[in-house]
Structure 1
Amino acid sequence: MDYALGYRPAAGVARTLFSQTMGYVAATTGLFALGAYLGRDLSGGAGLLAFAVAFGALIGMQFAARRSAQLTTVLLAVFGLFIGVATAPTLAYYADADPRALWQAGGATALFVAGFGAVGYATRRDLSALARVLFWALVGLIVFSIVLIFVTIPGGALIYSVLGLAIFAGLIVIDFQRLRRSSDVASAPLLAASIFLDILNVFLFFLQIFSGGGRDER
Protein backbone atom coordinates (compact mmCIF):
# COMPACT_ATOMS: atom_id res chain seq x y z
CA MET A 1 0.00 0.00 0.00
CA ASP A 2 1.42 3.40 -1.01
CA TYR A 3 1.06 6.55 1.03
CA ALA A 4 1.20 10.26 0.41
CA LEU A 5 4.59 11.93 0.28
CA GLY A 6 6.05 12.40 3.71
CA TYR A 7 3.97 9.73 5.43
CA ARG A 8 5.83 7.19 7.49
CA PRO A 9 4.21 4.36 9.45
CA ALA A 10 4.78 4.03 13.17
CA ALA A 11 8.33 3.06 14.02
CA GLY A 12 7.26 -0.24 15.58
CA VAL A 13 5.26 -1.26 12.52
CA ALA A 14 8.10 -0.24 10.21
CA ARG A 15 10.62 -2.28 12.18
CA THR A 16 8.30 -5.29 12.24
CA LEU A 17 7.67 -5.14 8.50
CA PHE A 18 11.38 -4.67 7.75
CA SER A 19 12.46 -7.56 9.98
CA GLN A 20 9.78 -9.91 8.65
CA THR A 21 10.47 -9.02 5.03
CA MET A 22 14.21 -9.46 5.32
CA GLY A 23 13.65 -12.68 7.26
CA TYR A 24 11.57 -13.96 4.34
CA VAL A 25 14.29 -12.83 1.92
CA ALA A 26 16.90 -14.75 3.92
CA ALA A 27 14.70 -17.87 4.06
CA THR A 28 13.96 -17.66 0.34
CA THR A 29 17.66 -17.32 -0.38
CA GLY A 30 18.34 -20.42 1.72
CA LEU A 31 15.69 -22.39 -0.16
CA PHE A 32 17.12 -21.12 -3.44
CA ALA A 33 20.55 -22.45 -2.42
CA LEU A 34 18.97 -25.79 -1.50
CA GLY A 35 17.17 -25.96 -4.84
CA ALA A 36 20.36 -25.09 -6.70
CA TYR A 37 22.14 -27.94 -4.90
CA LEU A 38 19.36 -30.46 -5.53
CA GLY A 39 19.08 -29.51 -9.19
CA ARG A 40 22.81 -29.30 -9.98
CA ASP A 41 22.69 -32.42 -12.19
CA LEU A 42 19.34 -31.80 -13.86
CA SER A 43 18.93 -31.22 -17.58
CA GLY A 44 17.88 -27.95 -19.13
CA GLY A 45 14.41 -29.33 -19.77
CA ALA A 46 13.92 -30.10 -16.10
CA GLY A 47 15.13 -26.60 -15.33
CA LEU A 48 12.45 -25.14 -17.57
CA LEU A 49 9.80 -27.21 -15.80
CA ALA A 50 11.08 -25.99 -12.43
CA PHE A 51 10.96 -22.41 -13.72
CA ALA A 52 7.31 -22.91 -14.72
CA VAL A 53 6.50 -24.15 -11.20
CA ALA A 54 8.34 -21.19 -9.64
CA PHE A 55 6.55 -18.73 -11.92
CA GLY A 56 3.20 -20.31 -11.08
CA ALA A 57 3.94 -19.99 -7.36
CA LEU A 58 4.85 -16.34 -7.85
CA ILE A 59 1.59 -15.62 -9.66
CA GLY A 60 -0.33 -17.58 -7.03
CA MET A 61 1.12 -15.37 -4.31
CA GLN A 62 -0.66 -12.36 -5.80
CA PHE A 63 -4.03 -14.03 -5.28
CA ALA A 64 -3.24 -15.82 -2.02
CA ALA A 65 -2.12 -12.58 -0.38
CA ARG A 66 -5.75 -11.42 -0.26
CA ARG A 67 -6.94 -14.63 1.40
CA SER A 68 -4.30 -16.41 3.46
CA ALA A 69 -0.97 -15.23 4.86
CA GLN A 70 0.02 -18.84 5.52
CA LEU A 71 -0.63 -19.91 1.92
CA THR A 72 1.29 -16.88 0.64
CA THR A 73 4.26 -17.89 2.78
CA VAL A 74 4.11 -21.48 1.53
CA LEU A 75 4.02 -20.28 -2.07
CA LEU A 76 7.02 -18.04 -1.40
CA ALA A 77 8.90 -21.10 -0.13
CA VAL A 78 7.90 -23.09 -3.22
CA PHE A 79 9.03 -20.20 -5.41
CA GLY A 80 12.42 -19.97 -3.69
CA LEU A 81 13.07 -23.71 -3.91
CA PHE A 82 12.04 -24.16 -7.54
CA ILE A 83 13.70 -21.02 -8.86
CA GLY A 84 16.85 -22.46 -7.31
CA VAL A 85 16.29 -25.73 -9.17
CA ALA A 86 15.63 -23.79 -12.38
CA THR A 87 18.85 -21.81 -12.02
CA ALA A 88 20.92 -24.84 -10.97
CA PRO A 89 22.17 -25.81 -14.47
CA THR A 90 23.47 -22.27 -15.03
CA LEU A 91 25.18 -22.12 -11.64
CA ALA A 92 26.65 -25.59 -12.11
CA TYR A 93 28.12 -24.50 -15.43
CA TYR A 94 29.81 -21.48 -13.87
CA ALA A 95 30.96 -23.53 -10.87
CA ASP A 96 32.84 -25.83 -13.26
CA ALA A 97 34.05 -23.20 -15.72
CA ASP A 98 34.93 -20.29 -13.42
CA PRO A 99 34.10 -20.81 -9.72
CA ARG A 100 35.83 -17.56 -8.77
CA ALA A 101 33.21 -15.63 -10.73
CA LEU A 102 30.51 -16.99 -8.41
CA TRP A 103 32.21 -15.53 -5.33
CA GLN A 104 32.95 -12.24 -7.07
CA ALA A 105 29.36 -11.93 -8.26
CA GLY A 106 28.06 -12.77 -4.77
CA GLY A 107 30.22 -10.12 -3.10
CA ALA A 108 29.38 -7.48 -5.70
CA THR A 109 25.68 -8.28 -5.37
CA ALA A 110 25.76 -7.87 -1.59
CA LEU A 111 27.42 -4.44 -1.86
CA PHE A 112 25.15 -3.37 -4.73
CA VAL A 113 21.92 -4.32 -2.97
CA ALA A 114 23.03 -2.89 0.38
CA GLY A 115 23.96 0.43 -1.22
CA PHE A 116 20.89 0.97 -3.36
CA GLY A 117 18.62 -0.54 -0.71
CA ALA A 118 19.87 2.03 1.79
CA VAL A 119 19.22 4.80 -0.73
CA GLY A 120 15.67 3.59 -1.29
CA TYR A 121 14.93 3.19 2.41
CA ALA A 122 16.21 6.69 3.15
CA THR A 123 14.59 8.49 0.20
CA ARG A 124 11.49 10.48 1.09
CA ARG A 125 10.59 11.64 -2.40
CA ASP A 126 7.82 9.51 -3.92
CA LEU A 127 9.39 7.33 -6.64
CA SER A 128 6.25 5.47 -7.73
CA ALA A 129 6.27 7.21 -11.14
CA LEU A 130 9.76 5.85 -11.74
CA ALA A 131 8.43 2.31 -11.38
CA ARG A 132 6.45 2.63 -14.61
CA VAL A 133 9.51 3.90 -16.48
CA LEU A 134 11.61 1.01 -15.17
CA PHE A 135 8.93 -1.51 -16.14
CA TRP A 136 9.10 -0.42 -19.77
CA ALA A 137 12.89 -0.27 -19.59
CA LEU A 138 12.82 -3.89 -18.43
CA VAL A 139 10.58 -4.82 -21.35
CA GLY A 140 13.06 -3.12 -23.66
CA LEU A 141 15.91 -5.06 -22.07
CA ILE A 142 14.09 -8.33 -22.73
CA VAL A 143 13.61 -7.33 -26.37
CA PHE A 144 17.31 -6.46 -26.57
CA SER A 145 18.25 -9.88 -25.18
CA ILE A 146 16.17 -11.53 -27.92
CA VAL A 147 17.88 -9.39 -30.56
CA LEU A 148 21.28 -10.53 -29.26
CA ILE A 149 20.30 -14.14 -29.99
CA PHE A 150 20.00 -13.40 -33.71
CA VAL A 151 22.25 -10.37 -34.24
CA THR A 152 25.94 -10.03 -33.38
CA ILE A 153 26.55 -6.73 -31.61
CA PRO A 154 30.10 -5.94 -30.46
CA GLY A 155 30.05 -5.91 -26.66
CA GLY A 156 26.34 -6.68 -26.75
CA ALA A 157 26.40 -9.00 -23.74
CA LEU A 158 28.29 -6.44 -21.67
CA ILE A 159 25.85 -3.72 -22.69
CA TYR A 160 22.97 -6.00 -21.74
CA SER A 161 24.45 -6.70 -18.30
CA VAL A 162 25.24 -3.06 -17.54
CA LEU A 163 21.79 -1.91 -18.64
CA GLY A 164 20.26 -4.66 -16.50
CA LEU A 165 22.21 -3.51 -13.46
CA ALA A 166 21.08 0.08 -14.04
CA ILE A 167 17.43 -0.98 -14.27
CA PHE A 168 17.56 -3.18 -11.20
CA ALA A 169 19.37 -0.51 -9.22
CA GLY A 170 16.23 1.59 -9.70
CA LEU A 171 13.95 -1.33 -8.86
CA ILE A 172 15.87 -2.00 -5.64
CA VAL A 173 15.52 1.64 -4.62
CA ILE A 174 11.78 1.50 -5.27
CA ASP A 175 11.25 -1.80 -3.46
CA PHE A 176 13.09 -0.61 -0.36
CA GLN A 177 11.12 2.63 -0.40
CA ARG A 178 7.92 0.55 -0.51
CA LEU A 179 9.29 -1.36 2.45
CA ARG A 180 9.75 1.85 4.43
CA ARG A 181 6.44 3.46 3.47
CA SER A 182 4.13 0.49 3.93
CA SER A 183 2.26 -0.25 7.16
CA ASP A 184 0.79 -3.56 5.98
CA VAL A 185 2.75 -6.31 7.73
CA ALA A 186 0.83 -8.91 5.70
CA SER A 187 2.59 -7.62 2.57
CA ALA A 188 5.95 -8.92 3.82
CA PRO A 189 6.00 -12.12 1.66
CA LEU A 190 5.21 -10.18 -1.53
CA LEU A 191 7.85 -7.55 -0.75
CA ALA A 192 10.31 -10.32 0.01
CA ALA A 193 9.63 -12.01 -3.34
CA SER A 194 10.18 -8.73 -5.17
CA ILE A 195 13.43 -7.98 -3.32
CA PHE A 196 14.67 -11.53 -3.82
CA LEU A 197 14.05 -11.26 -7.57
CA ASP A 198 16.02 -8.01 -7.59
CA ILE A 199 18.91 -9.75 -5.82
CA LEU A 200 18.82 -12.79 -8.10
CA ASN A 201 18.84 -10.74 -11.29
CA VAL A 202 21.66 -8.51 -10.06
CA PHE A 203 23.66 -11.62 -9.15
CA LEU A 204 23.16 -13.12 -12.62
CA PHE A 205 24.19 -9.88 -14.33
CA PHE A 206 27.34 -9.67 -12.22
CA LEU A 207 28.02 -13.35 -12.84
CA GLN A 208 27.96 -12.79 -16.57
CA ILE A 209 30.31 -9.83 -16.24
CA PHE A 210 32.82 -11.46 -13.89
CA SER A 211 32.88 -14.70 -15.86
CA GLY A 212 33.90 -12.81 -18.96
CA GLY A 213 30.58 -13.42 -20.67
CA GLY A 214 29.98 -9.69 -20.77
CA ARG A 215 32.99 -9.43 -23.11
CA ASP A 216 31.94 -12.16 -25.52
CA GLU A 217 31.31 -11.19 -29.09
CA ARG A 218 28.07 -12.91 -30.05
Structure 2
Amino acid sequence: MDQAYPAVVQDRGRVLFAQTMGYVAATTGFFAFGAYIGRNLLPGVAFLAYLASFAALIAMQFTVRKSTQTTVALLLLFGLLIGVATAPTLVYYASTDPQALWQAGAATALFVAGFGAAGYATRRDLSALARICFWALLALIVFGIVLIFVNIPGGALIYSILGLVIFAGFIMFDFQRLRRSRDIEVAPLLAASIFLDILNVFLFFLRIFRGSR
Protein backbone atom coordinates (compact mmCIF):
# COMPACT_ATOMS: atom_id res chain seq x y z
CA MET A 1 0.00 0.00 0.00
CA ASP A 2 2.81 2.42 0.92
CA GLN A 3 4.60 1.64 -2.35
CA ALA A 4 1.41 2.15 -4.36
CA TYR A 5 0.72 5.62 -2.94
CA PRO A 6 3.63 7.44 -4.67
CA ALA A 7 2.58 5.83 -7.95
CA VAL A 8 -0.95 7.18 -7.50
CA VAL A 9 0.41 10.65 -6.74
CA GLN A 10 2.60 10.54 -9.86
CA ASP A 11 -0.36 9.43 -11.96
CA ARG A 12 -2.44 12.35 -10.68
CA GLY A 13 0.45 14.67 -11.47
CA ARG A 14 0.63 13.39 -15.04
CA VAL A 15 -3.13 13.68 -15.46
CA LEU A 16 -3.07 17.25 -14.12
CA PHE A 17 -0.23 18.19 -16.47
CA ALA A 18 -1.98 16.66 -19.48
CA GLN A 19 -5.33 18.27 -18.67
CA THR A 20 -3.80 21.68 -17.97
CA MET A 21 -1.79 21.78 -21.18
CA GLY A 22 -4.82 20.50 -23.09
CA TYR A 23 -6.85 23.39 -21.69
CA VAL A 24 -4.05 25.80 -22.65
CA ALA A 25 -4.14 24.48 -26.21
CA ALA A 26 -7.94 24.73 -26.37
CA THR A 27 -7.88 28.28 -24.96
CA THR A 28 -5.28 29.23 -27.56
CA GLY A 29 -7.55 27.85 -30.27
CA PHE A 30 -10.50 29.90 -29.02
CA PHE A 31 -8.19 32.92 -28.78
CA ALA A 32 -7.25 32.51 -32.43
CA PHE A 33 -10.93 32.17 -33.39
CA GLY A 34 -11.78 35.29 -31.36
CA ALA A 35 -8.98 37.22 -33.06
CA TYR A 36 -10.37 36.14 -36.43
CA ILE A 37 -13.97 37.17 -35.77
CA GLY A 38 -12.83 40.41 -34.13
CA ARG A 39 -10.52 41.54 -36.90
CA ASN A 40 -13.03 44.04 -38.33
CA LEU A 41 -14.69 45.18 -35.12
CA LEU A 42 -14.48 48.71 -33.76
CA PRO A 43 -11.95 49.41 -30.98
CA GLY A 44 -14.80 50.12 -28.56
CA VAL A 45 -16.12 46.58 -29.04
CA ALA A 46 -12.64 45.21 -28.45
CA PHE A 47 -12.43 47.12 -25.16
CA LEU A 48 -15.79 45.72 -24.03
CA ALA A 49 -14.57 42.24 -24.93
CA TYR A 50 -11.47 42.89 -22.82
CA LEU A 51 -13.59 43.77 -19.79
CA ALA A 52 -15.88 40.77 -20.36
CA SER A 53 -12.90 38.44 -20.65
CA PHE A 54 -11.70 39.34 -17.18
CA ALA A 55 -15.23 39.02 -15.82
CA ALA A 56 -15.14 35.42 -17.10
CA LEU A 57 -11.72 34.95 -15.49
CA ILE A 58 -13.00 36.19 -12.13
CA ALA A 59 -16.11 34.00 -12.40
CA MET A 60 -13.86 30.96 -12.74
CA GLN A 61 -12.66 31.51 -9.17
CA PHE A 62 -16.21 30.91 -7.91
CA THR A 63 -17.09 27.93 -10.11
CA VAL A 64 -13.87 25.90 -9.88
CA ARG A 65 -15.05 23.93 -6.82
CA LYS A 66 -18.66 23.67 -7.95
CA SER A 67 -18.64 22.64 -11.59
CA THR A 68 -15.67 21.66 -13.73
CA GLN A 69 -17.76 21.92 -16.90
CA THR A 70 -18.79 25.49 -16.09
CA THR A 71 -15.22 26.47 -15.25
CA VAL A 72 -13.90 25.02 -18.52
CA ALA A 73 -16.66 26.80 -20.45
CA LEU A 74 -15.68 30.08 -18.78
CA LEU A 75 -12.02 29.40 -19.63
CA LEU A 76 -12.85 28.93 -23.30
CA LEU A 77 -15.09 32.00 -23.24
CA PHE A 78 -12.20 33.92 -21.73
CA GLY A 79 -9.94 32.78 -24.56
CA LEU A 80 -12.52 33.81 -27.16
CA LEU A 81 -13.12 37.24 -25.64
CA ILE A 82 -9.45 38.06 -25.10
CA GLY A 83 -8.90 37.07 -28.73
CA VAL A 84 -11.55 39.58 -29.80
CA ALA A 85 -9.97 42.20 -27.53
CA THR A 86 -6.49 41.60 -28.96
CA ALA A 87 -7.66 41.47 -32.59
CA PRO A 88 -7.02 45.19 -33.35
CA THR A 89 -3.42 44.86 -32.13
CA LEU A 90 -2.81 41.75 -34.21
CA VAL A 91 -4.42 43.32 -37.28
CA TYR A 92 -2.19 46.36 -36.88
CA TYR A 93 0.97 44.26 -36.77
CA ALA A 94 -0.23 42.01 -39.59
CA SER A 95 -0.77 45.03 -41.84
CA THR A 96 2.38 46.96 -40.92
CA ASP A 97 4.96 44.30 -40.03
CA PRO A 98 3.73 40.71 -40.50
CA GLN A 99 7.24 39.35 -40.01
CA ALA A 100 7.13 40.54 -36.41
CA LEU A 101 4.19 38.21 -35.74
CA TRP A 102 6.12 35.12 -36.82
CA GLN A 103 9.25 36.19 -34.99
CA ALA A 104 7.30 36.90 -31.81
CA GLY A 105 5.53 33.55 -32.05
CA ALA A 106 8.78 31.61 -32.41
CA ALA A 107 10.49 33.60 -29.66
CA THR A 108 7.52 33.06 -27.34
CA ALA A 109 7.58 29.29 -27.89
CA LEU A 110 11.28 29.10 -27.04
CA PHE A 111 10.93 31.49 -24.10
CA VAL A 112 8.02 29.61 -22.51
CA ALA A 113 9.58 26.21 -23.14
CA GLY A 114 12.86 27.25 -21.54
CA PHE A 115 11.55 28.99 -18.45
CA GLY A 116 8.65 26.57 -18.10
CA ALA A 117 11.07 23.63 -18.03
CA ALA A 118 13.27 25.45 -15.51
CA GLY A 119 10.32 26.13 -13.23
CA TYR A 120 9.00 22.57 -13.56
CA ALA A 121 12.38 21.06 -12.72
CA THR A 122 13.59 23.31 -9.90
CA ARG A 123 13.25 22.14 -6.31
CA ARG A 124 13.53 25.62 -4.82
CA ASP A 125 10.24 27.16 -3.66
CA LEU A 126 9.42 30.00 -6.07
CA SER A 127 6.62 31.55 -4.01
CA ALA A 128 8.85 34.46 -2.98
CA LEU A 129 9.76 35.02 -6.64
CA ALA A 130 6.06 35.18 -7.54
CA ARG A 131 5.46 37.87 -4.90
CA ILE A 132 8.39 39.91 -6.20
CA CYS A 133 7.09 39.57 -9.76
CA PHE A 134 3.63 40.69 -8.68
CA TRP A 135 4.92 43.95 -7.20
CA ALA A 136 7.28 44.40 -10.12
CA LEU A 137 4.33 44.04 -12.48
CA LEU A 138 2.45 46.79 -10.64
CA ALA A 139 5.53 49.01 -10.95
CA LEU A 140 5.74 48.18 -14.66
CA ILE A 141 2.11 49.21 -15.14
CA VAL A 142 2.90 52.56 -13.51
CA PHE A 143 5.95 52.90 -15.76
CA GLY A 144 3.75 52.19 -18.79
CA ILE A 145 1.36 54.95 -17.75
CA VAL A 146 4.30 57.35 -17.39
CA LEU A 147 5.43 56.46 -20.92
CA ILE A 148 2.07 57.64 -22.25
CA PHE A 149 2.75 61.18 -21.05
CA VAL A 150 6.56 61.35 -20.97
CA ASN A 151 8.86 60.61 -23.90
CA ILE A 152 11.71 58.51 -22.49
CA PRO A 153 14.38 57.49 -25.04
CA GLY A 154 14.20 53.72 -25.42
CA GLY A 155 11.30 53.61 -22.98
CA ALA A 156 9.23 51.15 -25.02
CA LEU A 157 12.16 48.74 -25.33
CA ILE A 158 12.92 49.00 -21.60
CA TYR A 159 9.25 48.39 -20.83
CA SER A 160 9.15 45.26 -22.98
CA ILE A 161 12.41 43.81 -21.64
CA LEU A 162 11.33 44.37 -18.04
CA GLY A 163 8.00 42.73 -18.89
CA LEU A 164 9.78 39.66 -20.22
CA VAL A 165 11.90 39.44 -17.06
CA ILE A 166 8.80 39.63 -14.87
CA PHE A 167 6.85 37.04 -16.84
CA ALA A 168 9.84 34.72 -16.92
CA GLY A 169 9.37 34.58 -13.15
CA PHE A 170 5.63 34.03 -13.46
CA ILE A 171 6.14 31.22 -15.97
CA MET A 172 8.60 29.44 -13.71
CA PHE A 173 6.25 29.79 -10.75
CA ASP A 174 3.17 28.58 -12.65
CA PHE A 175 4.97 25.52 -14.03
CA GLN A 176 6.26 24.72 -10.55
CA ARG A 177 2.66 24.89 -9.30
CA LEU A 178 1.74 22.54 -12.12
CA ARG A 179 4.34 20.03 -10.92
CA ARG A 180 3.54 20.30 -7.21
CA SER A 181 -0.24 20.34 -7.34
CA ARG A 182 -2.23 17.11 -7.39
CA ASP A 183 -5.67 18.74 -7.41
CA ILE A 184 -7.23 17.96 -10.80
CA GLU A 185 -9.99 20.53 -10.23
CA VAL A 186 -7.56 23.46 -10.46
CA ALA A 187 -6.43 22.52 -13.97
CA PRO A 188 -8.59 25.23 -15.66
CA LEU A 189 -7.20 27.92 -13.32
CA LEU A 190 -3.62 26.81 -13.95
CA ALA A 191 -4.34 26.79 -17.68
CA ALA A 192 -5.70 30.36 -17.52
CA SER A 193 -2.62 31.54 -15.65
CA ILE A 194 -0.20 29.86 -18.08
CA PHE A 195 -2.15 31.15 -21.08
CA LEU A 196 -1.94 34.71 -19.74
CA ASP A 197 1.81 34.27 -19.26
CA ILE A 198 2.16 33.14 -22.88
CA LEU A 199 -0.03 35.94 -24.23
CA ASN A 200 1.86 38.67 -22.38
CA VAL A 201 5.23 37.29 -23.46
CA PHE A 202 4.00 37.22 -27.07
CA LEU A 203 2.86 40.85 -26.90
CA PHE A 204 6.16 41.97 -25.35
CA PHE A 205 8.10 40.23 -28.11
CA LEU A 206 5.84 41.86 -30.70
CA ARG A 207 6.83 45.30 -29.41
CA ILE A 208 10.51 44.36 -29.40
CA PHE A 209 10.59 42.97 -32.93
CA ARG A 210 8.46 45.81 -34.25
CA GLY A 211 10.69 48.37 -32.53
CA SER A 212 13.83 46.81 -33.98
CA ARG A 213 12.68 47.94 -37.40
Give the letter for the 1:41 counterpart. Answer: N
TM-score normalized with structure 1 length: 0.93
Higher helix share: 2
**How high is the sequence identity, in percent, across the aligned residues?**
72
Match of 2:41 in 1: 42
Mapped contact 1:39–1:85 kept (Cα < 8 A): yes
How many positions carry a matched residue from both structures?
208
* Aligned equivalents of 1:15, 1:54: Cα separation in 2: 29
Give unpaired runs (5+ residues) of structure 2: 1-5
Match of 1:103 in 2: 102
How far off its partner does 1:9 sit? 7.9
Match of 2:179 in 1: 180
Mapped contact 2:65–2:185 kept (Cα < 8 A): no
The within-5 A match list for 1:88-167 is 88-167=87-166
Cα deviation, 1:123-153, whole Å, max 9, x if unaligned, reads 1111112111110000000000000000010
* Aligned equivalents of 1:185, 1:8: Cα separation in 2: 16
Give the letter for the 2:144 counterpart. Answer: S
* Aligned equivalents of 2:49, 2:8: Cα separation in 1: 38
Moved more, 58-67 or 200-209: 58-67
For residues 94 and 9 of structure 1, do their structure 2 counterparts lie closer, same or farther at Cα, with a shift above 3 Å needed?
farther
SS at match of 2:86: helix
TM-score normalized with structure 2 length: 0.95
* Aligned equivalents of 1:30, 1:114: Cα separation in 2: 19
Give unpaired runs (5+ residues) of structure 1: 1-6
Mapped contact 1:9–1:182 kept (Cα < 8 A): no
For residues 196 and 9 of structure 1, do their structure 2 counterparts lie closer, same or farther at Cα, with a shift above 3 Å needed?
farther
Match of 2:3 in 1: none
Q: List structure 1 runs of 4+ shifted beyond 3 angstroms.
A: none
SS at match of 1:104: helix
Cα deviation, 1:1-29, whole Å, max 9, x if unaligned, reads xxxxxx99821111100000000000000
Mapped contact 2:133–2:166 kept (Cα < 8 A): yes
How far off its partner does 1:66 sit? 2.1
